[in-house]
Amino acid sequence: MIAIIDYGMGNLYSVSKALERMNVDYILSPDQAELEKADGYILPGVGAFKDAMSILNETGLTDFIQKVVADGKPLLGICLGMQLLFEESEENGLSKGLSLLPGKVVRIPETVGGTTLKVPHMGWNELQIQNDSPLLQNLSGGHAYFVHSYYVDTEEKDALLATADYGVDVPAVVGKGNVFGTQFHPEKSSELGLAILKNYIKLVEGEGR
């Protein structure tokens, strides 16, 4: 069973509907006792990094998420949820993340090499596969839907599963061990996004490991 972690800042409706379309057994809850029953987790996110971490810290969900990951349960972060997986963010002042993956969340530059970039980055961009992963099984690329003003800067190249070119190389899909993330919204990214979600479900069920 999949648990969508509800901490009040997620794209809960669209993620829930995507799982329903795939006939996936899931729960949506902020309650740790309920969440504990799940085999794998989705951490969605919309909004500011610092606000999200404040809620996770205040509710005890930071410790809970770190514990279930340490116990070996898979976790998938989506959009802001992916950024929260990393060590820190400079958004609205430096703040600490879940520290499940090494790296820092930084703002997309407004100019690169004399080219002006629209920030936030909003729209469809092509994925460039960088490393093999169960999350990208049977996928060779495609376009995904992004909406974000910040991106992850990490030296952990093995964790970069796919990138997207937006003046800078945006980590689009990340993964290490049982921790995964997508900067884009897979539930809004047509067949490519649904394929990634299906691969994650298989991984949680033990089929894709």
* CA geometry: angle 119, 130, 124, nearest 5 deg: 35
- At 209 the pLDDT is 47
Closest CA to 179 of 152, 208, 154, 200: 200
Q: Which residues are catalytic?
A: 79, 185, 187
Three-state DSSP class for 119? coil
Quote the crossing angle between the two packed helices 61-70 and 49-59, to the nearest 10°: 80
Q: How many CA atoms lie within 13 A of 66 on its CB side?
A: 15
Per-residue pLDDT of the chain (209 residues; tens, 9 = 90+): 999 999 998 878 889 999 999 999 999 999 999 999 999 999 999 999 999 999 999 999 999 999 999 999 999 999 999 999 999 999 999 999 999 999 999 999 998 878 899 999 999 999 999 999 999 999 988 999 999 999 999 999 999 999 999 999 999 999 999 999 999 999 999 999 999 999 999 999 985 44
Cβ proximity of 176 and 158 under 8 Å: yes
Contact between 140 and 127 (Cβ < 8 Å) = no
Q: Choose among 87, 105, 104, 83: nearest CA to 96.
A: 87
Which pLDDT belongs to residue 50? 97
pLDDT for 208 equals 45
Give domain status of residue 187, yes or no: yes
Is there a contact between 146 and 122 (Cβ–Cβ < 8 Å)? Answer: yes
pTM for the structure as a whole: 0.95
- Domain presence at residue 209: no
State the CATH number of the domain containing residue 26. Answer: 3.40.50.880
- Residue 109 preceded by cis peptide, ω within 30: no
Number of domains in the chain: 1
- Residue 25 forms part of a structural domain: yes
Total residue length of the chain: 209
Place of tokens 């951490």: 43
Whether residue 59 lies inside any domain: the answer is yes
Place of tokens 């996770």: 56
Could you tell me which residues are beta bridge partners of residue 39? none
DSSP label of 207: S
- Structural domain containing residue 61: 2-204
CA 153 centroid distance within chain: 14
24 is a domain residue: yes
pLDDT for the residue 207: 56
